[in-house]
Chain A
Amino acid sequence: MTPLTYIRASDRADALARVGTDGRFLGGGTNLVDLLRQNVEQASALVDISRLDGAIREIEGGGLLIDASVKNAALAAHPIVRSRYPVLARALLAGASAQIRNMATVGGNILQRTRCMYFYDADGARCNKRQPGAGCDALDGFNRYHAILGASDQCVATHPSDMCVALAMLDAVVHLSGPAGERQVPLMDFHVLPGDMPQIETVLKPGELITGIELPPPSDAIANSEYRKVRDRSSYAFALISVAGGLSLANGQVTQIRIALGGVAAKPWRASRAEHALLGRAPTPDAFLAAIREELVDAQPLSGNAFKIGLVERTTVAVLTALAGANA
């Protein structure tokens, strides 16, 4: 880690004023401190925003506004999140360990970097994300954890967040504040696919800060929602794949459907094609399978992750069948 200055921001305006061009905002540090120590990232200053207001409040219209510095553990334990947004509570609890959830902030979770081991290996591996134009050692390397959707010949890394998969499924909105003022970006538009510039991961502008996340009012499909994560061991591991699903039925037909996938792409993947295919259909396992297969038509597996296609299919069918309950 190169020498740096530590600044504790007194409020949001203070943080924005002091971050400068080479500074970084510091939340829980569970990813950034590690990246700095491994020399994957460099910063001249860290502006600590982890002690800024961390409120969770209901807003007009019935949604929820979550400050960016709220800890993952606090959000997962919040009574409103547990009762009205179960998919989000479960996704948060699926991520990392209790210690890390106590440290990690909501804003930092959204901005965490891929766990591709070639990205982390600053001394020994080629990575277009870390060093544009260097090449990608994951393409022909150990790519069991890598993407099957939306990747490019420059980068096949996945986004590691569980929380973001639930936020994508919920149509959450990211609140931003920066030198040019405040703006809001749907979570689904916040992360970008790698294309020819895998070093660009989000639409965040220089000096811009995530200030909060807005959840929509709960609907029937959000109230009846679940998150299932499949990993190499039963706890404290990143997802091979994950599925966030929400479903509501009336008269034996699907009236609302929400599906998002994790561990398959450089961003949380909203399975819009599958959702479209299921609206108005009877909620049967066969229909669920046909729909998710339609979503995966463009999947391009690598040498080590073709199993993800079948795994996404089976997990999606299992989640939706469970949500359909006795009606499936």
Chain B
Amino acid sequence: MICVNGIEISPPDDARVSLLDLLREHLHLTGTKKGCDQGACGACTVLLDGDRVLACLTLAAQAEGRDVRTIEGLSGESDDLHPLQRAFVEHDGLQCGYCTPGQICSAIAMAEELRRGDPSYVTHDLAAGPPVATRAEIRERMSGNLCRCGAHNGIVEAIEAMLAETAA
């Protein structure tokens, strides 16, 4: 079984079905978007056991026995927006909104990577402690999520706001 947003789902019979098509076409969870379907845009980013992955290049069968969380599952039982969803609204982190679910799932996992001290390509001293979440760090860490409307400045501001709120 695959646990999608807390609900147990049977894996598809056809091994070719991607996790993305399972979510969108079989479960009708259309929040996760199909952009390029070849790992170039990040629109299909979901959380697999808490780590951000691309649902388009993950076969659904590979998610068996694991926990999948999508944009629909971020707020849990309540109808409240996740703090990062609120920040995206406040900081104009979107225009058309197509990349937004992927951006938000990606940034939530990115915050955890920062918290545990994972370095990035722009981290100056790889051996030092947890990197500081500068704008350069956030931009590098979010480079796997493209926004064709060019809302990247608002996206970075929204993420900065969430990180500040979490740290407070």
Q: Contact: A100 with B118, CB < 8 Å? A: no
Q: Contact: A97 with B62, CB < 8 Å? A: no
Instruction: Enumerate chain A residues within 8 angstroms of B123, measured Cβ to Cβ.
Output: 93
Q: Contact: B126 with A89, CB < 8 Å? A: yes
Q: How far is the CB of A107 from the nearest CB of chain B, in Å?
A: 16
Interface magnitude class on chain A:
35 or more
- Chain B binder among A76-84, A130-138, A316-324: A76-84
Given the interface contacts A29-B57, A33-B59, A34-B38, does A100 sit within 8 Å of B144 by beta carbon? yes
Main secondary structure of the interface of B (DSSP, over half): loop
New A-B contacts (14) at CB < 8 Å, excluding given A48-B61, A98-B113: A1-B16, A3-B16, A4-B15, A29-B57, A30-B39, A30-B54, A82-B119, A82-B127, A89-B119, A89-B126, A90-B126, A98-B141, A100-B144, A102-B53
Quick check: is B75 within 8 A (CB to CB) of the other chain? no
Instruction: Enumerate chain B residues within 8 angstroms of A48, measured Cβ to Cβ.
Output: 61-62
Please provide the 8 A-B residue pairs with the shortest distance between their CB atoms, ordered closest to farther. Answer: A97-B144, A235-B143, A6-B15, A236-B143, A93-B121, A83-B127, A82-B126, A6-B61
Give A68 to B4 CA distance when docked, in angstroms: 28
How many inter-chain residue pairs (CB < 8 Å) link A and B? 101
Q: Mark A257-283, 1 if CB is under 8 A from B, else 0.
A: 000000000000000000000000000
Contacting B at CB under 8 A, from A57-100, are 73, 76-77, 79, 82-83, 86, 89-90, 93-94, 96-100
Instruction: Enumerate chain A residues within 8 angstroms of B16, measured Cβ to Cβ.
Output: 1, 3-4
Interface magnitude class on chain B:
35 or more
Q: How far is the CB of A242 from the nearest CB of chain B, in Å?
A: 12
Name B140's contact: one of A8, A89, A235 (CB within 8 Å). A235
State the A residues within 8 Å of B (CB).
1, 3-6, 8, 26, 28-30, 33-34, 37-38, 46, 48, 50, 73, 76-77, 79, 82-83, 86, 89-90, 93-94, 96-100, 102-103, 234-236
Quick check: is B30 within 8 A (CB to CB) of the other chain? no
Q: Contact: B57 with A33, CB < 8 Å? A: yes
Give A30 to B57 CA distance when docked, in angstroms: 6
Q: Contact: A99 with B42, CB < 8 Å? A: yes
